[in-house]
Structure 1
Amino acid sequence: MNTVATLLVGVAIFVGIIGIIVPVLPGAILSLAAILVWALEVQSSIGWIVFAAAVVLIGASQVVKYIVPERRLRESGVPRRSMFVGVLLGIVGFFVIPVVGMFVGFPLGVYLSERQRLGAHDRAWVSTKHALRATGLSIVIELIGTSLAAAVWLVAVLFLV
């Protein structure tokens, strides 16, 4: 594979990682797709082993990113309904306030739902902080899985192919 194509795959992986931190793009999927394109182009056993490792790492992070935060939310008493309202307002916010609207809409939605459910500002704010921590944990888990897959790809590019 030529250097320019490898560089473009690296850029796509990097953009995917940025898409995890700033959830505008499906970051993990973009990174995995870039590694697949690289494996298809390289056409070697190392390429397919790297792709398989990326599938396992990113796939595992996709599963864990839902299980662990969900369990923590249940333990803290935040219902799924509040998270759903947060996601809906996050989506609306994304279109109403470009770029940062999601970051405004999600906590606002969780807070309003919890305020309606619990009645008191203090308790609703505590629930909102739990939801924000769970969301942050989910992002970190996905970021770790995708970064490890990117590291495996980079080691293969630098030292094996």
Structure 2
Amino acid sequence: MKETYVFIGVSIANLVSKEMIRSMNEDTIIFAMANPVPEIMPDDAFEAGAKIVGAGRSDFPNQVNNVLAFPGIFRAALDVRAKEINKKMKQAAAYALVELIAKDDLKPDYVIPKPFDPQVGPNVAAADTGVARIEITYYDELEKVKKIMGK
């Protein structure tokens, strides 16, 4: 029985072959994060049967990059005068990113929002972390972005 479902690479270029992907479970998820050349090129991973593929490069779908979280985290930290950026803030940012893609919109090449989606920054900034020294709301800004996006 094929038991490998996920590969998360943060190592070196061309480490994973199509044959390795074929030996994995049919619903395998591949995050080949080596940069600039990933462990396996996304097109090759899909061709070999991976269900979902992400990379660290901006020229491929499902780019995993800290640019998704940190502008919003920094903005929120400054706005609420947080004394630190802690694990809870990073987790809240991750959950805010997950909530940006509606279940009906999920596709193998769209499980992670694009870094420059105008909803990313405000949603990450609005994530509740419980570390605010002053209370603010991003509701108005979120509503403006939703209006622009037609949501």
TM-score by length of 2: 0.32
Larger radius of gyration: 1
Greater length-normalized contact order (CA 8 Å, ≥ 6 residues apart): 1
Higher relative helix content: 1
Higher strand proportion (structure 1 or 2): 2
